[in-house]
């Protein structure tokens, strides 16, 4: 896009550089011939008075430029297009053309707002921040549609660009609808990945970190970042954009599912895999009721077509059990987890990864406290034995530092931290488990990965539980261990900020951390403990796929 702007748009929109009587269309063709083979992104600008400098759209509308079908090439825009300037122009156009073909948009009524053509490129650097935060933002809202060109989808360049972040922010706060497009071959790969590796798609679309976004011109970056900090803050901005992207992803998965359902040649297992992945996403974005309905219907269908002992049937049963667990339907979840475990051990053996998954999930459910009450000694002993069995099997099969192993270790630590009969020995083992899980998950994945955040949350809650235990054991005149409470509060704040940014403030996991923070706040931490140097856990550029333990 940069070359097109420097070698086509700018020369053609300086009237003094065009021969008298030469129309814009001819000037463009001549500029294309001159720029052929030129790979530089810089062009020498001729001196020209402001009255002779225009946007491409201004000149095109003044000269009534037409497309190949005789329609006006420029008119009032209906769709704002967000993109990175480093995109190759031909691929950018190919992605937009693909959107038109697949969206059913009327070509005669659809007009794209593309900055290089609409904004006067001779004067854009002089526009004040007020213009971008008012007139520009209102224009995005008036159009009501934003099309984000995503290339490559598995590591989007656009998510690292400050201008794109600002455009997505404008889309979110004005209520405009977000569309995403890419080249046809990229879209095919994207849809296939929705079926084969749903977590890879989620990870790619969750790599928003507004604070680290950059612009070609440092002054642009500083202008955008300062406006974000003045108005909304990076954490809230991350949350808004992430919510918008997840809404689009859910719709994209549903649309592709409809295509597969209507295609008589679609492989049943591929379609069922997409349905299962869609259910998982619904559950993980807080729509557990819809997810439960989807999983229940899918389980009936796959049981009828594949049988009750088929691996996919058992996978679907496991997902439904986890969803019931999220909804607080403990009895239904417990029965389904036990049934799933029994079938998996029968078909696969006790050391298979799927069997170990069911063992771990059953242990998690057994260790869940009801209404804030401590679990029974019987449930504690059964859950502890199951966790240790799962850890042993995963260490042998997947390795001691595999994320699923470490996640199970964190859950065992969480169980011990909430033992119905706590002792210092139990807390000491829990401390060791939490430290191992958190340190290694951050090393293997990254600090903002969902599994690392869960382990960090568990570790902070362990410190809170240990604070209460020590306080109860100390002499009446003794001081509580405020360092423990300070450490727990600091870590929970970091987890809360990261979960808010990437899941939203109303997501169940965010609310769980917020609830733990409230408990810390009610304990009256002395004033000498402050959090002025606190920093949020930050997501890096790791391309690791998100690994789910369920």
Domain at 465, CATH number: 1.25.40.10
> pLDDT-derived band of residue 33, with 50, 70 and 90 as boundaries?
low
Q: Is the confidence at residue 441, as pLDDT, over 90?
A: yes
Ramachandran bin of 218, using left for φ above 0, alpha for ψ from -120 to 50, beta for the remaining angles: alpha
Which of 266, 297, 315 is the C-terminal boundary of a domain?
266
The domain that contains 172 carries what CATH number? 3.40.50
Taking residues 343-371, what's their average pLDDT? 91
278 backbone dihedrals φ, ψ, rounded to 5°: -65, -40
- With tokens 């021969």, the residue in question is 19
Quick one: pLDDT at residue 448? 83
Residue 527: band (very low, low, confident or very high) from pLDDT cuts 50, 70, 90: low
Predicted pLDDT of residue 216: 84
Range of the domain at 428: 399-550
pLDDT tens by residue, 131-147: 666 788 888 999 999 99
Q: Classify residue 340: in a domain, yes or no.
A: no
pLDDT at 542: 31
**CA 511, chain centre distance (Å):** 18
Least confidently predicted of 152-156, 285-289, 362-366, 500-504? 500-504
Q: How many domains does the chain have?
A: 3
Q: Which pLDDT value is given to residue 195? A: 92
pLDDT band at 105 (very low <50, low <70, confident <90, very high): very high
Q: How far apart are CA 160 and CA 165, in angstroms?
A: 8
* Of 398, 334, 394, 331, nearest in space to 361 by CA: 334
The domain boundary, picked from 51, 73, 95, lies at 73
- In terms of domains, do 196 and 230 share one? yes
pLDDT at 544 (0 to 100):
34
The mean-pLDDT minimum among 11-15, 72-76, 374-378, 451-455 falls in: 11-15
Identify whether residues 122 and 262 lie together within a single domain: yes
319 is a domain residue: no
Bigger pLDDT: 275 vs 210: 275
Half-sphere exposure of 3 (CA within 13 A, CB side): 15
Same domain, 254 and 160: yes
Q: Which two tokens stand for residue 295?
A: 């999983």
CA-based nearest residue to 179, from 112, 131, 133, 127: 112
Domain assignment present for residue 63? The answer is yes
Distinct helix (H) and strand (E) counts, the chain = 24, 4
User: 3-class secondary structure for 426-450?
Assistant: HHHHHHHHHHHHHHHHHHHCCCCCH
Residue 515, token pair as written in the block: 């609830």
With respect to residue 336, please indicate whether it lies within any of the assigned structural domains: no
Name 72's bridge partners: 66
Specify whether 49 is located in the same domain as 92: no
The proportion of the chain whose per-residue pLDDT surpasses 70, expressed as a percent, equals 86
Of 3, 180, 170, 204, nearest to 96 (Cα)? Answer: 180
Choosing from 32, 51, 73, the residue where a domain stops is: 73
**Spacing of C-alpha 51 from chain mean position:** 46
Let me know if residue 305 belongs to a domain. Answer: no
Task: Extract the tokens encoding 24.
Answer: 């814009």
436 & 482 share domain: yes
More confident call, 524 vs 396: 396
Average pLDDT, the chain: 85
Sheet bearing 79-82, strands edge to edge: 112-113, 79-82, 145-149, 177-181
């Amino acid at each position: 896009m940069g070359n097109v702007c420097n070698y086509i748009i700018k020369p053609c929109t300086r009237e003094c550089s065009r021969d008298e009587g030469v129309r814009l269309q001819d000037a463009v063709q001549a500029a294309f011939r001159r720029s052929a083979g030129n790979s530089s992104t810089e062009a020498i600008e001729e001196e020209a008075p402001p009255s002779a400098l225009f946007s491409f759209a201004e000149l095109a509308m003044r000269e009534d430029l037409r497309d190949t079908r005789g329609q006006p090439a420029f008119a009032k825009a209906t769709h704002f297009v967000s993109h990175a300037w480093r995109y190759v122009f031909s691929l950018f156009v190919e992605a937009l053309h693909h959107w038109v073909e697949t969206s059913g948009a009327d070509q005669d009524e659809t007009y794209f707002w593309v900055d290089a053509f609409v904004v006067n490129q001779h004067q854009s650097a002089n526009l004040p921040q007020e213009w971008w935060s008012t007139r520009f933002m209102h224009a995005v809202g008036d159009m009501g549609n934003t099309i984000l060109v995503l290339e490559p989808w598995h590591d989007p360049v656009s998510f690292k660009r400050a201008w794109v972040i600002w455009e997505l922010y404008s889309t979110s706060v004005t209520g405009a609808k977000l569309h995403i497009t890419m080249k046809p071959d990229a879209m095919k790969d994207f849809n296939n990945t929705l079926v084969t590796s749903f977590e890879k798609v989620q990870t790619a679309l969750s790599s928003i970190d507004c604070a680290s976004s950059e612009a070609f011109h440092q002054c642009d970056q500083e202008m955008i970042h300062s406006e974000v900090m003045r108005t909304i803050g990076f954490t809230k901005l991350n949350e808004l954009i992430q919510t918008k992207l997840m809404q689009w992803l859910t719709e994209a998965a549903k649309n592709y599912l409809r295509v597969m359902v209507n295609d008589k040649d679609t492989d049943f297992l591929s379609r069922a895999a997409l349905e299962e992945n869609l259910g998982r996403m619904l559950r993980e974005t807080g729509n557990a009721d819809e997810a439960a309905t989807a999983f229940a219907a899918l389980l009936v269908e796959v049981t009828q077509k594949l049988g009750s002992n088929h691996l996919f049937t058992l996978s679907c049963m496991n997902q439904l059990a986890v969803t019931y667990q999220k909804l607080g339907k403990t009895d239904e979840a417990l029965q389904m987890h036990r049934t799933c475990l029994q079938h998996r051990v029968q078909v696969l053996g006790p050391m298979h990864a799927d069997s170990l998954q069911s063992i771990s999930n059953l242990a998690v459910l057994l260790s869940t406290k009801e209404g804030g009450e401590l679990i029974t000694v019987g449930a504690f002993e059964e859950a502890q034995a199951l966790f240790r069995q799962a850890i042993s099997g995963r260490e042998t099969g997947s390795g001691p530092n595999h994320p699923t192993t470490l996640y199970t270790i964190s859950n065992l630590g969480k169980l011990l931290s909430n033992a119905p009969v706590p002792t210092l020995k139990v807390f000491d083992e829990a401390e060791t488990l939490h430290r191992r899980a958190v340190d290694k998950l951050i090393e293997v994945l990254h600090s903002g990965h969902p599994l690392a955040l869960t382990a960090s949350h568990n570790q902070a809650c362990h410190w809170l539980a240990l604070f209460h235990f020590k306080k109860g054991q100390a002499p009446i005149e003794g001081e509580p261990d405020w360092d423990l409470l300070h450490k727990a509060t600091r870590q929970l704040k970091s987890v809360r900020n990261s979960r808010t940014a990437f899941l939203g403030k109303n997501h169940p996991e965010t609310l769980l951390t917020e609830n733990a923070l409230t408990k810390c706040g009610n304990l009256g931490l002395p004033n000498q403990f402050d959090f002025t140097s606190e920093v949020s856990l930050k997501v890096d550029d790791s391309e690791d796929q998100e690994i789910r333990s369920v």
